[in-house]
Homo-oligomer: A and B are copies of this chain.
Amino acid sequence: MLRACSLTLVELAERLRGVLRSEGDRGIVINGVTPLDAAAPGSIVYVTNNAGCRIAESGRCAAVLANSVQAGQVTKPVIIVDDPRAAWMACLRIFTPVLTEYRGISPDASVDPSAVIHPRAVIMQRAVIMPGARIGAGSVVWPGVFIGEQAQIGEDCVLHPNAVVREGCILGNRVIVHAGAVIGADGFGYRADADGRHLKIPQIGNVIIEDDVEIGANATIDRSTCGSTVIGEGSKIDNLVQIAHNVNIGKRNIFAAQAGIAGSSVTGEGCIFAGQAGVADHCRIGDRAVIGPQAGVQLRRVKADTVYFGTPAIEMEKMQKILPLFHRLPELLGKQNSEAAREQPTGEGTEAAGRSPDF
């Protein structure tokens, strides 16, 4: 598999500023980092409680990160640290596989002469950079990426293979765009004519992605009709998420996979959208609101600091009182109505599992 470094336990303890519990363990070689429940020979794990210690003891890991309290419960080699999870994440960085390093512009890239590529940017083979585009220092454009005319990519960005950034879109610094993501496709806007035909409304705006944003694989962020679709600083967008035209995402939002937000909606700071959540168009989502998994927001205003759930989404606090009663409907209402129910089967539930094609 990928080449990762290997370190002795004493070297690793130094890098982590931790304490090696036993000098006799100095020379043990660590060549990877694993989760507790998938430990591999040669790997280091971390524990934060007694249950974790038991799993580590019986597992295949070579060493354990623990604080001074938990360390006593482990007989395997231990590096004692204040915050085992933070130390484990540092290990993830230390053991990150080293890939071949590339520099400059591949002769096999297609770069328009009018594009401005910083000398410290990397443009790999098969990438296409259109006229007037700008790529900042330290940014890496992987193969198959398309950067449209006059698009601007800031510093230290990474655009993974086959990502697309269309004309005029602007990315800040340290933006990561994963493979296959599409930034700046036309917004979905039409006007019906007298005959019911959908006439396309030109989508002449762009997308602005602020610093430190990450965009997941095959996610789509549409350009605005006019003005800009904006993704606020530090927001993280997972795979297959849809951000529609003219949406304005605040700072440090989280969109889990397959969530979607429709046209012109605006979110505050620190909002969280769980997997497959949806937000209708022209909604306003308050700061730090949490939209639960598969919830469907149709409210024009969502309160700050509040959790929502359901379709249509309501406050979680209310839903938590409703759902137990919903689940007990047969007990609460069924007895006196059981005969009627038998006579009037709706049948709609019974097809529920019939969705999978060809099965």
Chain A residues proximal to chain B, CB less than 8 Å: 1-4, 32-35, 38, 40, 43, 89, 92-93, 95-97, 99-100, 108, 110, 125-126, 128, 130-131, 142-144, 146, 148-150, 160-162, 164, 166-168, 170, 176, 178-180, 182, 185-192, 196-198, 200-202, 204, 206, 212, 214, 216-218, 220, 222, 225-227, 234, 236, 238-240, 242, 244-246, 252, 254, 256-258, 260, 262-264, 270, 272, 274-276, 278, 280-281, 290, 292-296, 298-300, 307, 309-312, 314, 316, 318-330, 332-334, 337, 340-341, 344-346, 348-359
Given A162-B162, A234-B197, A329-B326, the answer on whether A188 and B349 have CB atoms closer than 8 Å is no
Question: How many Å lie between the Cα of A246 and that of B200 in the bound state?
Answer: 27
- Tell me how far the C-beta of A37 lies from the nearest C-beta in chain B, rounded to whole angstroms: 9
Known: A144-B144, A353-B316. A189 touches B358 (CB 8 A): yes
User: A239-B188, A356-B274 given as contacts; is B100 within 8 A of A130 (CB)?
Assistant: yes
Given A150-B2, A278-B293, A333-B332, the answer on whether A358 and B191 have CB atoms closer than 8 Å is yes
- The answer to whether B99 touches A167, judged by C-beta atoms less than 8 angstroms apart, is yes
Partner of A95, one of B176, B204, B351: B204
Q: Give how many copies assemble into the complex.
A: 3
A114 to B: closest C-beta gap in Å? 9
Closest beta carbon of chain B to A127's beta carbon, Å: 9
Q: How far is the CA of A292 from the CA of B332 in the complex (A)?
A: 26
Interface residues of chain A: helix, strand, loop or mixed (majority): loop
B353 touches A309 (CB 8 A): yes
Which residue of chain B has its CB nearest to the CB of A92?
Answer: B202
| Chain B neighbourhood of A125, CB < 8 A | 110, 128
Between A1, A38, A176, A309, the greatest number of chain B beta carbons within 10 A of the residue's beta carbon is seen for A1
**Which residues in B have their C-beta under 8 angstroms from that of A325?**
329-330, 333-334, 337, 341
